[in-house]
Amino acid sequence: MSVVSNLGYVVFGVSELQRWESFAVDVLGMQLASRSTGALAFRMDDYCQRLVLETNPIDDIVAAGWEFESETKLAAFVDQSQAKGVILEPMTSELARRRKVEGGYSCSDPVMPYVHEFYFCPEMPPLNSPFVSKHLKSSFVTGPLGVGHILPVTRDLTKSMNFLVDVLGLRVSDYIREEVGPGFVIDATFLHTKTGRHHSIGIAQAELPKILNHFMVQVADMDDVGLAYDRAVRAGCHFALEIGHHPNDQMTSFYVRSPSGFNIEYGFGGIVIDDATWKVRRYSQLSDWGHRRNVSPAEHPRNV
């Protein structure tokens, strides 16, 4: 079975491009890669782009870009997916140009209104144009592990899981089930790709206004989490979750509200799975310390 290599890029539809530009560059530490009519792209490493924003009032995820190591592996994936009844459309040359990939395919998510894109051969910038962050002391953790992870919600967990496992070839990392408030249970499943980032996608069944709960970016030095946290405080950002630690992927992170309303998890220390020795577990806590909820800028201890 030909399976996806990693989650290589994400595309969000956003209503306020200008606010997003300063948030991505000056809070998250990304590099503006390109600005065109109705779109922005950002670099996080030696790829031409990892995060793409398109003007769209939905303020939500538009596409998840799944990378393959070669055109041959992508072609085998397309054949086996179509045999399973999944309808994959070839990317137009215009879309491939915008995504800065050699080529690919796309299909609608089987449950939620966003798209999965499958591509090979991402474009690299010239050698004399290395990734430069105005703020990072270290770097984003990307490369073969991909851009980070996403946590979309689904209205049909069984259907979503069938797609992620049987079509994309993802593997379950673990589960977390916690009653976070009276009668309000979060039951999330985390899945990894063959390159082993603890999860490239986490999924939970919920009826919420937005598809995307959060997008996670990981940095290579804990200081960069603290420095980004201070930049977010200074920028007056709302923290969905203060700094804390997840028991499953071992990520120390905070969750800051993006200009689109969904959250960005900014973390350090996420583990990489070796399938030869990995054991799937069910955890009873989303966080084993910290991650205090809903701290507004006005009540933030650094602002009083």
Query: Site residues (CB under 5 A) for Fe ion?
Result: 216, 265
CB of 214 to Fe ion, least distance (A): 6
CB of 18 to Fe ion, least distance (A): 27
Nearer to Fe ion, 106 or 248 (CB): 248
Nearer to Fe ion, 54 or 265 (CB): 265
Helices (H) and strands (E) in the chain, counts: 5, 19
CB of 150 to Fe ion, least distance (A): 8
Nearer to Fe ion, 81 or 258 (CB): 258
Residue with token string 């700094």: 243
Q: How far is CA 258 from CA 12, 23, 212, 288, in A?
A: 11, 7, 11, 24
SS3 40: strand
What ranges make up the beta strands (E) of the chain? 6-14, 31-36, 39-43, 51-55, 60-68, 89-90, 101-108, 115-122, 149-154, 171-181, 184-192, 201-205, 212-219, 239-245, 252-257, 263-268, 281-283, 289-290, 293-295
User: How far, in whole angstroms, is CA 125 from its chain's centroid?
Assistant: 22
Nearer to Fe ion, 96 or 176 (CB): 176
CB of 81 to Fe ion, least distance (A): 27
Closest by Cα among 170, 215, 187, 152 to 286 = 187
Nearer to Fe ion, 78 or 216 (CB): 216
CB of 189 to Fe ion, least distance (A): 13
CB of 188 to Fe ion, least distance (A): 9
Backbone angles phi, psi at 256, to 5 degrees: -110, 140
Nearer to Fe ion, 31 or 253 (CB): 253
Cβ atoms 156, 211 nearer than 8 A: no
CB of 93 to Fe ion, least distance (A): 34
DSSP, residue by residue, 233-248:
HHTTPPEEEEEEE-TT
Nearer to Fe ion, 224 or 265 (CB): 265
Backbone angles phi, psi at 291, to 5 degrees: 60, 40
